[in-house]
Amino acid sequence: MDLSGKRILLIISGGIAAYKSLDLIRRLRERGAEVRPVMTQAAQEFVTPLAVGALSSGHVYTELFSREDEQDVGHIRLARDCDLVLVAPATANLMAKMAHGLADDLASAVLLATDRPVLIAPAMNPKMWEAKATRRNVETLKADDIAFIGPMAGEMAESNEAGVGRMAEPLQIVDAVIAKLDTGPKPLLGRKVIVTSGPTHEPIDPVRYIANRSSGKQGHAIAAALAKLGADVMLISGPVTIADPAGVTVLRVESARDMLAAVEAQLPADIAVMVAAVADWRVAASADQKIKKQPGEAPAPLALTENPDILKTVGHHAQRPRLVVGFAAETENVETNGRAKLERKGADMIVANDVSPENGVMGGDRNRVNIISADGIDVWPDLAKDDVAERLAALIAARFAG
C-alpha cells in the first residue's frame, strides 16, 4: 500500500539521530503521506525547525504554551487529527515520560492525549538501551500497545561505541508505518512469536569460522508476515546482510550457543518458528590467535563437537510454546527426513525443502516447501519466499486459532 491521504504526526525528539528525520519526512511524503512535525526543545539543538518545515511543507509545532497554536487547544487537536503518531527518534528520556504518563512539553502532552496508533523508533547509546530502567519502560510501553521499530545494531555517533541502539533507517520506518496502518485482519494480535533466521558462525580462530550458505531471506520474510498479522515478533538473527523486516524486534547473535540463549530468554512465547540454519558442529576449542600455516606441514586437524539442538530444546522445553514450527533443509529424501525430524524434535510442524545447489534455494528468492505435520504432508508449488512466508503465516494463524 502507499500512504496517500494518510496523516502522520511526526514527533522528533533530541538525539543525533534526529538528522535522519529529514530523510524520513521526504520518504513519507514520496508515498503520499501528509506529515505534521512536532519538535522537542532538545531536537532543535540537532536539526532546525526551518529545515523540518521546508521538507514537510507545513507548520512545525514546538511549544506547548504557544499563544498561536493553543488558541483551540492545539495539542489535543494534534493528538487526534492524524492516522498515526510516529516518534523518530524516540530518546530514552521521552520513552520514560511516555511510560510514566508525564506531559510537561508539547510532545509528551500529545502522546498522552492521543487515541491514535503510536509507533516509536528508539535511538540511544547501547548502555542506555540496556539499562534496567529503559527495559522496564519498554515493557510498559509494549503493554500499552505502543509499537516499536528497532533499535538496530551498529556503530554509534560516539567514537568506539557499538551495539544495539541505532535508530532504524528511514525506509525501514516507512515500511513499519505502512504495516501499522494496514487495516487487514490481525488474527495473531497480542501473540508473542519467536522467529530464528539466518546462519550461525562458529569460530575456528579470530578470523575463520564454520558457517553455511543461509541468507536469512526466508526467516526474515516469515517474521514480517507474522508481524503483519498482528503478532509481537522477536526475530533472533544470525549474521546476515539483508535489511531488518518491518514491524519486528531484531536481536542479532553469532553462534548456535548465543542463539539458544537468546531463544530461551524470550520464553514463554505463544509460537516459535525456528527457521535458522544452525551449524550442527563447532570447533571443540577455538584458537585465541590466528592459526598459521607451517611450510611443508599438513594443517592441524580440527576437533569438532556437537552444537545444542535449538529446535529440539524448544520442542521439549518446560515453557514450550503452544505451536512449534521447525525447518528441515535437506538435499535428499526430503519427506522421509522431514517426518523423522517432526517426531524427534517435538515440533508441531516441519517445513521441509530441498536445498541442493541446483535448486538455488540457499541465498535465492524462491523456495518450494513441504509442510509436514501429524495431519500428513502438503506439497506447495514453487513460490517466491515472500509468498511462502505469507502462506505459512496464514497457516500458523489458522492452526493457532484452532
- Structure confidence at residue 387 (pLDDT): 95
Asked if 166 and 217 sit in the same domain, the reply is no
∠341-214-232 over CA atoms, to 5°?
Answer: 75
Asked if 90 and 239 sit in the same domain, the reply is no
The partner residues of 166 in beta bridges, in order of sequence, read: 152
Asked if 311 and 227 sit in the same domain, the reply is yes
**Which residue, chain included where needed, has cell 513460490?**
383
CA-to-CA dists, residue 233 to 28, 43, 227, angstroms: 24, 30, 6
**Structure confidence by residue, pLDDT tens digits, 33-71:** 999 999 999 999 999 999 999 999 889 998 886 656 555
Domain presence at residue 1 = no
Please, which pLDDT band fits residue 339 given cuts at 50, 70 and 90?
A: confident
Asked if 215 and 172 sit in the same domain, the reply is no
Asked if 116 and 223 sit in the same domain, the reply is no
- Structure confidence at residue 342 (pLDDT): 92
Asked if 252 and 371 sit in the same domain, the reply is yes
Count of domains observed in the chain: 2
Asked if 174 and 211 sit in the same domain, the reply is no
Binding residue numbers: 280, 290, 308-311, 327, 341, 345
Domain presence at residue 248 = yes
Exposure of 40 in the CB half-sphere (CA atoms within 13 A): 26
| CATH value at residue 174 | 3.40.50.1950
Asked if 177 and 207 sit in the same domain, the reply is no
| Domain endpoint, select from 130, 153, 183 | 183
| Domain endpoint, select from 152, 183, 214 | 183
Binding residue numbers for CTP: 280, 290, 308-311, 327, 341, 345
Average pLDDT value over all residues in the chain? 90
**Structure confidence by residue, pLDDT tens digits, 183-228:** 778 899 889 999 999 999 999 999 999 998 899 999 999 999 999 8
93 counts as catalytic: no
- Structure confidence at residue 120 (pLDDT): 95
Asked if 171 and 208 sit in the same domain, the reply is no
Domain presence at residue 189 = no
Asked if 104 and 51 sit in the same domain, the reply is yes
Give the domain range for residue 49. 7-183
**Structure confidence by residue, pLDDT tens digits, 145-160:** 898 888 887 777 665 7
| Domain endpoint, select from 151, 183, 215 | 183
**Structure confidence by residue, pLDDT tens digits, 341-387:** 898 999 999 999 887 877 777 778 899 999 999 999 999 999 999 99
**Structure confidence by residue, pLDDT tens digits, 229-288:** 989 999 999 999 888 887 788 899 999 999 999 999 999 999 999 999 999 999 999 989
Domain presence at residue 193 = no
Asked if 243 and 120 sit in the same domain, the reply is no
Catalytic residue among 212, 333, 337, 353: 212
Evaluate if residue 73 carries a pLDDT over 60.
Answer: no
Domain presence at residue 191 = no
Domain presence at residue 289 = yes
| CATH value at residue 288 | 3.40.50.10300
User: Residue 225 and residue 192: Cα distance in Å, rounded?
Assistant: 14
Asked if 263 and 318 sit in the same domain, the reply is yes
Domain presence at residue 267 = yes
